[in-house]
């Protein structure tokens, strides 16, 4: 109780202490991902992924419909262009066949959302990404704990992002987490250095809300 009250009174102490690293380690273990990095919000995590993958001006990212405007805005904030792909009405997840039709020479990434927590067809998505040299990114903001076979969502693409704001499966009031099996990508997102050395994007739900509100 005393620790909880102290964190409420001094939220920066939670952000700058060991609790964040403990959360990241536990999250990576529970999802089966190799690495987890906390962010101010899920949308900021997506922006961080895109930045670390080198996606920017002149690039296109395939984005599913329906989705939240903050997803498209995170793409736009890098300078890239979101390209919308309709859903399969049987699952409300991305229509991979239509995604194939929306490809252009500028397409760099395919974003697959697990809509309403229902896992998307990641095998088809991975096949499309592999055949066309695309990064595969999973939107898992409503799907923490969902699984496909023996693997949990968030482990099938190059990277994934989760949300931990107040309406999600677990809540840190504001916050998001990126998972990846790529150590280099994780390092780029900030896991290789301590809290004091992290990029401002990764520091923190408590002290980085301006990034979250900008990408809205």
Range of the domain at 66: 35-143+152-214
The reported pTM is 0.83
- Give the model confidence (pLDDT) of 113-138 as tens digits: 999 988 999 999 999 999 999 999 99
Domain CATH number, residue 66? 3.40.640.10
| 110 assigned to some structural domain | yes
| 8 assigned to some structural domain | no
| 13 assigned to some structural domain | no
The band of 216, judged by pLDDT with boundaries at 50, 70 and 90, is low
- Give the model confidence (pLDDT) of 76-101 as tens digits: 999 999 999 999 999 999 999 999 99
Q: Count structural domains, the chain.
A: 1
| 59 assigned to some structural domain | yes
Residue for token digits 């101010």? Answer: 40
């Amino acid at each position: 109780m005393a620790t909880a009250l102290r964190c409420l009174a001094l939220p920066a102490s939670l952000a700058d202490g060991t609790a964040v690293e403990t959360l990241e380690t536990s999250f990576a273990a529970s999802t089966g991902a190799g690495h987890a990095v906390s962010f101010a919000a899920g949308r900021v995590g997506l922006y961080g992924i895109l930045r670390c993958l080198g996606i920017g001006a002149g690039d296109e990212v395939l984005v599913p419909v329906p989705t939240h405007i903050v997803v498209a805005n995170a793409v736009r904030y890098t300078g890239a262009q979101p390209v919308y792909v309709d859903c399969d009405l049987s699952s409300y997840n991305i229509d991979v066949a239509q995604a194939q039709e929306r490809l252009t020479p500028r397409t760099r990434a395919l974003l697959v959302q697990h809509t309403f927590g229902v896992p998307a067809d990641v095998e088809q998505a991975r096949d499309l990404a592999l055949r066309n040299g695309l990064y595969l990114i999973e939107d898992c903001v409503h799907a923490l704990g969902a699984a496909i076979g023996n693997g949990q969502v968030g482990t099938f693409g190059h990277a994934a992002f989760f949300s931990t704001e107040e309406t999600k499966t677990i809540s840190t009031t504001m916050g998001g987490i990126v998972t990846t099996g790529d150590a280099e990508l994780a390092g780029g997102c900030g896991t290789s250095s301590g809290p004091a050395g992290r990029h401002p994007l990764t520091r923190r739900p408590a002290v980085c809300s301006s990034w979250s509100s900008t990408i809205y």
